[in-house]
């Protein structure tokens, strides 16, 4: 980001018929334009910065004779998605966090215009030749990181039913298939709680985690930054026999990967959701997961996104947790 340089001050003297010794008349230079980042709802990725990584504001116009001040350089607005965090490239310092649409932040300020020689005139110094150059505008190299804004984040193993769930409780249409890593990018869905109060909240579907994700296995943990802002995690665990894995072990593996990414994330408010309950033949698998949730003091829910079993209660519990002043989730 490069702000505009200030215009130079002018060195000029008044030359007019019948006006002897007209005196200095050099005008000031104009201020350079600013570079302003603006949070926009029209963008949901940072892709447009890849093809246009440099943004430069207009420089101020130089001062002119007859005490004419130079025109100020035009500032530029650079749109960025809501949820963008701006870092200084060199120091790593967080400069700004865009959490609201329309939020504006000046990342590079334009240079000050230089003074013309008319500004240096005094009673004893009536023909000054001094004038100033404009000061350079700020130039900064930034690193932008986008974190989606959601109230509830869905985490769990691949094929745990996250995409199916978000497609059933919201209008989001993520890709759904019977193979791992169907979800390759986060999806957001707006959910309305079925309680007659028209309460709505946003749910994020995060690509699945597997053991060793923090070392890059599977899709790694590159998407977990998107659930750092959420107020609640819904930990989905497949309790059907089709996985061939122990549900309790699946829960522990994902928790370990969350902790490897961020201890704060691992200790975020959480509910445990047993999915695909319609396909669960061995009730011991469900009971062992419910016992684990009880021991950890976590709310437990049993759902089937195919039949709709448990979905209304789950939506109401999510709404209570993220919208009520004091989260209070009833166990199911």
User: Considering only CA atoms, which of 160, 177, 157, 266 is closest in space to residue 219?
Assistant: 157
Does residue 175 register a pLDDT over 60? Answer: no
157 and 120, same domain (yes or no): no
Is residue 108 one of the residues assigned to a domain? yes
Residue with the bigger pLDDT between 86 and 180: it is 86
Query: Tokens in use for 318?
Result: 């999510």
Of 158-172, 182-196, 219-233, give the range with the top mean pLDDT.
158-172
Does residue 10 register a pLDDT over 60? Answer: yes
Does residue 330 register a pLDDT over 70? Answer: no
Does residue 36 register a pLDDT over 70? Answer: yes
133-171: string of b/e by CB count within 10 Å (b at 16+)?
bbbbbbebebeeebbbbbbbbbbbbbbbbbbbbbbbbbe
Is residue 275 one of the residues assigned to a domain? yes
pLDDT at 241: 82
Does residue 158 register a pLDDT over 50? Answer: yes
- How many structural domains is the chain composed of? 2
Does residue 327 register a pLDDT over 80? Answer: no
219 and 305, same domain (yes or no): yes
Query: Residue 123 sits in which domain range?
Result: 35-146
Is residue 97 one of the residues assigned to a domain? yes
Mean of pLDDT over the chain? 84
Report the run of H or E that residue 156 belongs to, with start and end. strand 152-156
Q: How confident is the model over 121-148, as a mean pLDDT?
A: 90
Least confident of 2-6, 104-108, 253-257: 253-257
Report the run of H or E that residue 291 belongs to, with start and end. helix 283-295
113 and 241, same domain (yes or no): no
- Token look-up 């890593």 returns 181
Under 8 Å CB-to-CB from 310, ≥6 apart: which residues? Answer: 277, 301, 302, 303, 304, 332
CB atoms within 10 A of CB 173: 11
**Last residue of a domain, which of 146, 180, 210?**
146
Enumerate the β-bridge partners of residue 154.
205, 234
61 and 106, same domain (yes or no): yes
Is residue 299 one of the residues assigned to a domain? yes
Does residue 329 register a pLDDT over 60? Answer: no
95 and 196, same domain (yes or no): no
User: In the chain, what is the straight-line distance between the N-terminal and C-terminal CA atoms, in Å?
Assistant: 53
Is residue 17 one of the residues assigned to a domain? no
Query: Tokens in use for 297?
Result: 């003091």
Does residue 263 register a pLDDT over 60? Answer: yes
317 and 169, same domain (yes or no): yes
Is residue 29 one of the residues assigned to a domain? no
- The predicted-structure confidence for 67-122, as pLDDT tens digits, reads as follows 999 999 999 999 998 889 999 999 989 999 998 889 999 999 999 999 999 999 99
Distances from the Cα of 144 to the Cα of 37, 91, 127, angstroms: 11, 13, 51
Tell me the CATH number at 137.
Answer: 2.70.210.12
pLDDT at 14: 87
Tell me the CATH number at 195.
Answer: 3.40.50.300
Of 30-34, 39-43, 241-245, 327-331, give the range with the top mean pLDDT.
30-34
Cα–Cα distance between 286 and 187 in angstroms, integer?
A: 28
Distances from the Cα of 81 to the Cα of 23, 228, 273, angstroms: 54, 17, 31
89 and 159, same domain (yes or no): no
Cα–Cα distance between 286 and 294 in angstroms, integer?
A: 12
Sign, CA dihedral 156-182-219-189, equals negative
Is residue 27 one of the residues assigned to a domain? no
């Amino acid at each position: 980001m490069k702000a505009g340089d200030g215009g130079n001050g002018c060195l000029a003297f008044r030359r007019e018929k019948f006006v002897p010794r007209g005196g200095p008349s050099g005008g000031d230079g104009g201020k350079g334009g600013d570079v302003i980042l603006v949070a926009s709802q029209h963008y949901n990725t940072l892709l447009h910065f890849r093809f246009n990584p440099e943004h430069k504001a207009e420089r101020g116009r130089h001062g002119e004779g007859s005490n004419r001040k130079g025109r100020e350089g035009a500032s530029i607005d650079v749109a960025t998605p809501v949820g963008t965090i701006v870092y200084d490239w060199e120091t790593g310092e967080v400069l700004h966090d865009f959490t609201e649409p329309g939020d504006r932040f000046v990342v590079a300020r334009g240079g000050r215009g230089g003074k013309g020689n008319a500004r240096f005139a005094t009673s004893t110094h009536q023909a000054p030749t001094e004038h100033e150059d404009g000061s350079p505008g700020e130039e900064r190299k930034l690193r932008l990181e986008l974190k989606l804004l959601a109230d509830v984040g869905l985490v769990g193993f691949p094929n745990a039913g996250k995409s199916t769930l978000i497609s059933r409780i919201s209008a989001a249409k993520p890709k759904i298939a019977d193979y791992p890593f169907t979800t390759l990018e986060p999806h957001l869905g707006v959910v309305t709680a079925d309680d007659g109060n028209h309460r709505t909240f946003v749910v994020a579907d995060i690509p699945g985690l597997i053991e060793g994700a923090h070392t890059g296995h599977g899709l790694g943990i590159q998407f977990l930054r998107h659930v750092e802002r959420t107020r609640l995690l819904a930990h989905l665990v497949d309790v059907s026999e089709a996985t061939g894995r122990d549900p309790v072990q699946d829960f522990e593996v994902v928790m370990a990967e969350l902790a490897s990414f961020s201890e704060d994330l691992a200790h975020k408010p959480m509910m445990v959701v047993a999915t695909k309950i319609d396909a669960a033949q061995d009730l011991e698998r469900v009971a062992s997961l419910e016992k684990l949730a009880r021991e950890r003091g976590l709310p437990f829910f049993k759902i089937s996104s195919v039949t709709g079993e448990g979905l209304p209660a789950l939506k109401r519990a999510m709404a209570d947790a993220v919208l009520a002043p004091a989260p209070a989730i009833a166990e199911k």
